Structure formats: structure tokens, C-alpha cells
Amino acid sequence: MASHGARGRSGGRPTLEEVAARAGVGRGTVSRVINGSPRVSDATRAAVEAAVAELGYVPNTAARALAANRTDAIALVVPEPETRFFAEPYFSDMLRGVGAELSDTEMQLLLIFAGSDRERQRLAQYLAAHRVDGVLLVSVHADDPLPDLLVQLEIPAVISGPRSAAETLTSVDSDNYGGGRSAVEHLLASGRRTIAHITGRLDVYGAQRRVDGYRDALRDAGHRADELLIEPGDFTEEGGRRAMTRLLERDPALDAVFAGSDVMAAGARQVLREVGRRIPDDVALVGYDDSAIARHMDPPLTSVRQPIVEMGRAMIDLLLAEIADRRPAVSRGLERRHAVLPTELVVRASS
């Protein structure tokens, strides 16, 4: 009966060591079960839970966190203005995946914006005080100092999309190269030949890889990529409008556009309609992200689906693994871990 073991051998509250002894496992295994770690077998989890019930063990969350120098908090850091966060479906989907994966743990999630110099300075002070156990970095640009700060502070961190091919932090990304390539291959297969590309910000590695996929798809089909048909955007609707206007000025006869995000595709569509170009009759249009914007556009937008919710979940899994071993990656002798999730072209009426 549970009441029989309500006190430990010392006559006080049952300890973690006593639960471990009763279950026939190590202290660390008991800790992992109590913290909801997925890295425990079903049989071991059942044995620990039975021992907890028999002894009447009650975890002391505050004491456990203090003893382990933990805060039981994770920060989701977005180095962008709040306006962009709430305007782009990418961020809400990422947040949804992160929240879903954390729901079965005791971790608290903090959302922190760091789009201005003042916000970055305040964040640096906050992180230096080690007020979180780990950090998720989303939408990081190549020159962003935050990743290097996290390395210096030895704070476990996972980045959404590497800054380059030589990324030093653990990262989760989608196959941006394959996604860009599949978009252009689809347009070529449908008979389009003058295919323009509105890129995302080119200080974002994922945007660079989409351009690489665009160029290689054209080259492998025997077409030379016309650099005048590649126009940088900034992942915003207004950026899509500006880029589409410039592209039409250079080549009014273009017959397809691959936009690096659904939001930019929406801006491009507005310009095409204003000048009387029909979609898809005159110009085929493809976006990226497969967001709600794509499904509700008129006509519905062909788009490359990123598994954004799944990326958020994967980021949490990797971060919890980093937190479980607080030693620096160098001393652990571990190679960088980079998860790349597949993309999928979702064909709709716009192409």
C-alpha cells in the first residue's frame, strides 16, 4: 500500500535515492522519468512510477532546479521586430510546434524579441545571468552576434536554420535547396520558360539555398539562370510588391515567378493583377511555406511546404538533449547535430 512507504528509511520524506533503490535503477534514470524525458524505456518508466507510488515520493521542483543549477525555463528568441513575428505564419507555426513538444514537461517557455540594439543588449544581460536552461533561436541572420554569445556563455542552444554550412550550433532546418529546386522543376514541366525568383533576405542561409535550387534546376534543364530575373526581397508583403514591380520593368514578358515565401507571393500577386496579368494564364506563381495564406489566396497558391510545426518539435527534442548534458560540446567530443526535414511541393491553381 502507498501509505506503508509514505516515509523514507530516515523517517522523513522519501528521497530520490530510495525511489531508485526500490525501482532497481540509477538516480539519473529516476530523474529522467520524473522530468518526462523520452529517453527511457516503457518498462523502466513503469518500474519507476510504481516505486514513486509505493513510497509516496513527491518531487520538489524548486529544490531540484536549484540543486541542478536549473531554472526549468527555455527562451524562444526571435531577433526580429514584433510586427514581423505576428505578420508571418512561419513564426506562429514554429511556436505551435515548440509549445506542443513542451506541454508534457515542466519547462516554461519564454518568448523574447530582440529586433533592436536595445533589446539585444537587454537580452545579453539576461542570458549572462543564466536565467534560462536553454535557448531556441529563430530567424537568425548571418551577422547576428547572439549565437556566438550563447557559445561563450555555454548555454545550450538550438538554431532554426544554420547561419552557414559551417554552423557551430545544433540546428534544425528544412531542405531549402530541394524546395527551391522542386518549385522551378514544376514550373518548367508546365511549359514556363522565363522564370523569375523573388528571394528572401540573402543574409539568411535558407534563402541562399533556395536561390541555389532555383539556379541548378534551370541549369540542369538546359536553361541559363538570368541574374536580372533574381530580385531580393525581405520576406514581407511589401517586399514582394517592390520586387515584382522591378522584375516586370526588366522583363514584362516573364511567364512565371517563384517567391521565397507565401507572404511575398501575396505582394507579387497584387502587382500582377494591377498590371492586368492573369494568374496562372499569363504568369504562374509559386510561393514557399504552404501557409494559410497559400490556401486562401485567389487563385489558391502552389507552395513549397515546410514542416514548420515538426521543426519546432525537433528543436525542443534536441535542446532537451543538450540541457541533459550541460558540459560544453567541445568537452563532450560531439559533432554538430544538424537535422534537415524534407519539403514538399503542394500544387494548386496558381501554376
When computed from its CA atoms, the radius of gyration of the chain, rounded to whole angstroms, is 25
Decide: helix, strand or coil at residue 234. coil
* 59-94 CB burial, b ≥16 within 10 A, e <16: eeeeebeeeeebbbebbbbbbbeeebbebbbbbebb
Closest CA relative to residue 43, chosen from 59, 51, 192, 288 = 51
pTM attached to this predicted model: 0.76
Closest CA relative to residue 76, chosen from 159, 164, 162 = 159
Helices 16-23/27-34 angle, 10° precision: 100
* Residues in contact with 82: Cβ distance below 8 Å, sequence separation at least 6, in sequence order: 113, 115
Taking residue 256's Cβ as centre, other Cβ atoms within 10 Å add up to 25
Q: Is the peptide bond before 280 cis (omega within 30 degrees of 0)?
A: yes
Residue 68 is predicted with a pLDDT of 53
Cα distance between residue 140 and residue 201, in whole Å: 11
Closest CA relative to residue 153, chosen from 137, 129, 173 = 129
| Cα 68 from chain centre | 28
What number of residues does the chain have?
351
Query: What Å distances lie between residue 330 and 134, 151, 157, 169, CA to CA?
Result: 17, 10, 14, 11
Residue 11 is predicted with a pLDDT of 52
Cα distance between residue 114 and residue 82, in whole Å: 9
For 61-92, the pLDDT digits (tens) are 544 544 456 778 999 999 888 888 888 888 88
* Long-range CB pairs of 13-19, under 8 A, 24+ apart, other chains included: 13/57, 13/58, 14/55, 14/56, 14/57, 15/57, 16/57, 18/55, 18/57, 19/48, 19/51, 19/52, 19/55, 19/57
Residue 83 is predicted with a pLDDT of 82
Collect the ranges in the chain with pLDDT lower than 70: 1-12, 35-37, 59-69, 326-336
Q: Which residue has the cell 524534407?
A: 342
Closest CA relative to residue 229, chosen from 191, 176, 268 = 268
* Residues in contact with 59: Cβ distance below 8 Å, sequence separation at least 6, in sequence order: 34
Asked whether 147 and 252 are in contact (CB, 8 A), the reply is no
Decide: helix, strand or coil at residue 312. helix
Residue 52 is predicted with a pLDDT of 85
Q: Environment class of residue 41 by beta-carbon count within 10 Å: exposed (0-12), middle (13-18) or buried (19+)? A: exposed
